[in-house]
Structure 1
Amino acid sequence: MMQTIAQINNVTHRYKGAAENSLDGVSLTIKKGETLLLCGASGSGKTSVIRLLNGLIPHYYQGDMTGEVTVNGLEIAKTQLYELAGIVGTVFQNPRSQFFSVDTDGEIVFGPENIGLAPDEIKARKDNISRQMKLDKLLCRSLFELSGGEKQRIACASVAALLPEIILLDEPSSNLDMEAINILHDIICDWKRQGKTIIISEHRLWYLKDIADRDIYMDKGRIVSEWSAEDFAEISEEETRQLGLRPTSINEHYLALLSDNCNAHESRINISDGILFKDFYFSYHRKPYILRRKRFSAADGEDLSLCIPELTIPKGKVTAVIGSNGTGKSTFLRCICGLEKDCTGVIISGGSEYRKRQRIGFSYMVMQDVNHQLFTDSVEKEVLLSMKDKDEKRCLEILDTLGLLRYKDTHPMALSGGQKQRVAIASAIAAGAELLLFDEPTSGLDYAHMKKVGELLRQLADSGSTVLVSTHDPEFIEQCCDLTLRIKNGRAVSLTF
């Protein structure tokens, strides 16, 4: 019989300032060496279970709690967080929240250094983890230069370097491209072979169907259903939709489309009414200048992080910007909306030219890390802030459409990752810009809200807005995108209808 390594007994929890319980009478027994999948809608309680097991509830997140949690024989409420460091490792949904270093190598060895390992052992662990997780191209780099998916891979490596018995993963695939998801799949399989106990909170189910031993479905802070791997594999696509879950299998065409080895060629369809992006050049490695700032141009060649001499996108369409992690998708969007001040480039639309500052008013961007653009103390105020003319009725309609109306008076930072994402999307809709930019808008979203976001983007395009959306999400592309723009090494290599 498998040994019990973690036990949650009748836990009810409510975050400080929240109107509803995050967990309601949750009981769960976890066996040593078991791989457990937590699934359910955003805000259903999955992340709160993760926080129970790593001690962040009750030691970091304040609130009211009843019940008991034990991990590896330790009662969590009476155990300091540092005592759990070598037992439980966590990869958070937003990897930035767990970084302590400024470079990748330092982050990977941070944990082993802090538990006092010998230098030779620290180096051996870094080398082994880097080899297993194929991190050669990410070593000796600044964390600030990495894409969201690359940061997620470093976060996984930093946790693995501690060799914990229990590994907790909160939406680990949310920012990853297809290649990185396959690598993550193999890493989890390797941890499983090593006998690790793995608990995964996840919306994307297709890459885990051959890994999880048990599948736990949560709703409104409760464990509603539980399946063995065999029983879960028998659930139909219709049943998963009814439960608000994403499918357990993906259309092979869209998986292939998102592969970095895809051979799609640029469409020759004539674009009669479009937005022209001209002379978009940018580099993260600017050379010092003495008298005046040097303007980037195509002549800078390989030094450029972004090199798009000319590109036309059709108006009134949803264009998926695809490509591997770190290839320049987010950089392109940031340059369009003016976040990268040194970027050259002109947008031409309807006979008007938009340069630098003018691009800011022409476009509106929802960032990949939405924490950077949440400023107010309530969801309603956040959406009203983006409106040129305050319209409370329209604001409430948008919140209702996105399933956020009941949170209108809630502080945005008290929401789950998926709920924060929807708040940022609500602000983008309310802004009413001609060009709307979305950087991984379905990251961390469940099926129902992914579908709602897709429907909203379609409505925006149908009403005349032009939408550019950076995404790794095959389900989302299939649902709402009209064409795909592939970015590779900062270059626009194909535009496919």
Structure 2
Amino acid sequence: MIELKNITFSYEGRNQGGLRDINLTVKDGECILLCGRSGCGKTTITRLVNGLIPRFYAGGLTGQVLVDGKDIADLTMYEIAKKVGSVFQNPRTQFFNTDSNSEIAFGLENQGMPTEKLRQRVETTAVDLEIQSLRNRSLHALSGGEKQKVAFASVYAMNPDIYLLDEPSSNLDMDAIQDLRKHLKFVKQQGKTILIAEHRLYYLMDVADRIVYMEQGQIAGIYTPEQFKAIKKDERERMGLRAVDLHEVHPQFTSPGVTEDKILKLQDVSLFYRKQAIVEHITLSAGMGEVIGVIGHNGAGKTTLSRTLCGLHNDTSGQFLWNKKPQDRKKRLHRSYMVMQDVNFELFADSVEAECSFGIRNPDKSLIEATMDGLGLLPYRNHHPNTLSGGQKQRVAVAVSMICGKELLVFDEPTSGLDFDSMEQVALLIQKLSAMGKVIFVVTHDYEFVCRTCSRVLHIDHGEQCDDLPLVPDNEENLKKLFSI
């Protein structure tokens, strides 16, 4: 059993993400879904249960956190780790090794498990979670979704009583999300207790026993799945929550700036990594204002394509043309801007406001102000980017994409970790960029976001370009099939 008694916590040097007067009891074997806007305190609750607060996140804490009747404050991290396993939003932050086998085995090694038993446990983990294809792989060569699977496996291998998951679906494709759902049901059947902080809600409606909705650091409501699904769409969106049933989400068929003239062309483009073909024979044309969703399974080559479009990956063949003129790697670099899947790689300045003008000559201050305002970043203009939540960091990177004035924009999983409000803000921003005539590629697994932003969908899988689907009313059923809905 987990008990949070009269918990109040505030992060040192931060006004957001803390908790006030939290009282919550989680029974053994219960699955609790924590939901609410970015910064509402979901992740903070998980950090209290795994002991990271106050040991690694400083701040003012009052109240008690009890696990099986023992105060977390009285336990060592080693003792906590025996009971509690954590899967973080960004799996890279919890890796200690360079290959998948070693990472899955790492916790077991620290527990002193005998070698033969350890090997058997790693094998059993791979079979149970159906990730044999990820065995003996370099972590650096895995996609974001594949890394998330390895992170979950490393926790599963240790067989904890309590699983804590922070936005575990943020980098997963639709099939992998269903695998995650199956795995959560599997560990729940084993009697494990699960706390999961999540923005994507639809896949958990038949897994969660209770849904805890949070607002500004407080518990604003606790629902059964039936009560939660009964909340009307407008009210749910007002609460900052995303869809609970993707069958009720429909494409909006908005493409404000699309022109008939094709300014970008890819002619028989193939992508390679270490001399191995990843995707072959891509041929497409894009007009100004087009918003092209790039979809496919984890590891299909979507991110490699996005990096290639921006000149960040050069092991390619075929032709890139802009306005009928060949574009080598340098020209593509000059013309494009990419919002990376892991935004920590592109945040350099010491404040949000400084980040929005970093590396830009003669930045337009009024544009910076308007963009921060439009993305809800003004309250954090003087905050260091690394003190923001994952969703807020994503919005900062998106803001830079609008301010920098590039013609080709690529967004790699731009809604990773975003609540409904932030997802809608990013969708509106992309629509503005489309109206400005930008050519935009969006690498995503997010069906809700595709429905709000894209004019067509490029489907890449099994090493080839499978579909190029215009988003017109007649294609809605085909779109749902591509997303396995």
Residue 352 in structure 1 maps to residue 348 in structure 2:
no
Residue 282 of structure 1 and its aligned partner are, at CA, apart by 3.2
Structure 2: distance between partners of 1:472 and 1:352: 32
Look up the equivalent residue of 1:457 and give its one-letter code: I
Whether contact under 8 Å (2:413, 2:442) holds in the other structure is yes
Q: 1:155 is matched with which residue?
A: 151
The offset of 1:345, in angstroms, is 5.4
Structure 1 position 283, deviation (Å): 2.1
Verify: 1:218 aligned to 2:191, yes or no: no
Deviation of residue 85 (structure 1)? 1.1
One-letter amino acid of the counterpart of residue 278, structure 2: S
Question: Within 1, Cα distance between the matches of 2:132 and 2:382?
Answer: 46
Instruction: Provide the secondary structure at the position in 2 that maps to 1:86.
Output: helix
The 1:345/1:412 distance shift into structure 2, 3 A limit, reads: farther
1:387 is aligned to 360
Question: How do residues 309-328 of structure 1 correspond to structure 2 at under 5 angstroms?
Answer: 310-328=283-301
2:397 pairs, out of 424, 449, 455, with: 424
TM-score normalized by the length of structure 2: 0.92
> Contact 1:354–1:362 at 8 Å: present in 2 too?
no
Which residue does the alignment assign to 2:265?
A: 276
The 3-state SS of whatever aligns with 1:390 is: coil
State the distance in 2 between where 1:431 and 1:420 align.
17
> 1:164 is matched with which residue: 153, 157, 160?
160
Contact 1:388–1:431 (CA<8 Å) still a contact in 2?
Answer: no
Specify the SS of the correspondent of 1:33.
coil
Aligned to 1:228: 224
Q: Structure 2 matches for 1:196-211, cutoff 5 A? A: 196-211=192-207
Counterpart for residue 432 of structure 2: 459
3-state SS, counterpart of residue 157 of structure 1: helix
Structure 1 counterpart of 2:129: 133
Matches of 1:89 and 1:249 in 2, distance apart?
29
Of the three residues 63, 69, 81, the one matched with 1:73 is 69
**Matching of residue 108 in structure 1 with residue 81 in structure 2:** no
- Structure 2 counterpart of 1:336, one-letter code: L
Aligned counterparts of 2:313 and 2:16: Cα–Cα separation in 1: 40
Counterpart selection for 1:450 from 420, 423, 426: 423
Q: Which residue of 1 aligns with 2:43?
A: 47
CA distance in 2, matches of 1:21, 1:441: 21
Could you tell me how far apart the structure 1 residues matched to 2:245 and 2:338 are?
31
Deviation, 1:431, is 1.1
Q: Which residue of 1 aligns with 2:342?
A: 369
Partners of 1:96 and 1:22 lie apart in 2 by 24
Q: TM-score, normalised by structure 1?
A: 0.90
Report the secondary structure of 1:109's partner residue. helix
1:484 matched residue in structure 2: 457
Q: Which runs of 5+ in 1 are unaligned?
A: 256-269, 287-302
Letter in 2 for 1:251: H
- Distance in 2, matches of 1:82 and 1:284, equals 40
* Cα distance change on mapping 1:309 and 1:448 into 2, 3 Å: closer
The 8 Å contact of residues 363 and 436 in structure 1, kept in 2 or not, is answered as yes
The aligned amino acid for 1:452 is Q
- Secondary structure of the equivalent of 1:305? strand
Partner of 2:477: none
Please report how far the alpha carbon of residue 354 of structure 1 lies from its aligned counterpart in structure 2 after TM superposition: 2.1
Whether contact under 8 Å (1:379, 1:411) holds in the other structure is yes
1:254–1:474 contact (8 Å) kept in structure 2: no
**Conservation of the 8 A alpha-carbon contact between 1:329 and 1:490:** no
The one-character-per-residue Cα deviations of 1:223-254 (angstroms, maximum 9, x if unpaired) are 11111223223222222112110011003798
Task: Tell me the distance in 2 between the aligned counterparts of 1:164 and 1:94.
Answer: 20
2: distance between equivalents of 1:304 and 1:476? 30
Question: What's the offset of the Cα at 1:488?
Answer: 1.6
CA drift at 1:222: 0.9
- Checking the alignment, whether the CA contact within 8 Å between 1:317 and 1:462 is kept in structure 2 is no
- Following superposition, the deviation at residue 19 of structure 1 comes to 3.1
Give the distance between the partners of 1:152 and 1:54, measured in 2 at CA: 19
Q: Which residue of 1 aligns with 2:407?
A: 434
Q: How many residues align?
A: 463
Which deviations, in whole Å up to 9, do the C-alpha atoms of 1:324-360 show, x marking residues without a partner? Answer: 0000000000111122244455432223332111111
Is this contact kept in 2: 1:386–1:430, CA < 8 A? no
Counterpart in 2 of 1:245?
A: 241
Q: CA deviation at 1:112?
A: 1.0
Which residue is equivalent to 2:181?
185
**5+ unaligned residues in a row in structure 2: which ranges?**
252-258, 471-485
**Residue identity matched to 1:424:** A
Which residue in the other structure is 2:139 paired with?
143
Displacement of 1:279 in angstroms is: 5.3
For each residue in 1:272-326, what CA deviation from the matched residue of structure 2 results, as whole angstroms up to 9, or x when unmatched? 423112453332224xxxxxxxxxxxxxxxx312324532123211110010000
* 1:404 match: 377
Go from structure 1 to structure 2 and tell me whether the alpha carbon gap of 1:45 and 1:414 turns closer, same or farther (over 3 Å shift).
same
Letter of the structure 1 residue corresponding to residue 468 of structure 2:
L
SS of the residue aligned with 1:248? Answer: coil
Superimposed CA distance per residue, residues 54-105 of structure 1 (whole angstroms, 9 cap, x where no aligned partner): 1111001112222221222332223221221110000000000001111111
Q: Tell me which amino acid in the other structure corresponds to 2:398.
A: I
- Give the % identical residues: 44
Q: Secondary structure at the match of 2:213?
A: strand
2: CA distance, partners of 1:473 / 1:436: 18
From 12, 18, 40, the equivalent of 1:16 is 12
Equivalent residues of 2:37, 2:419 under 8 A apart: yes
Partners of 1:157 and 1:20 lie apart in 2 by: 32
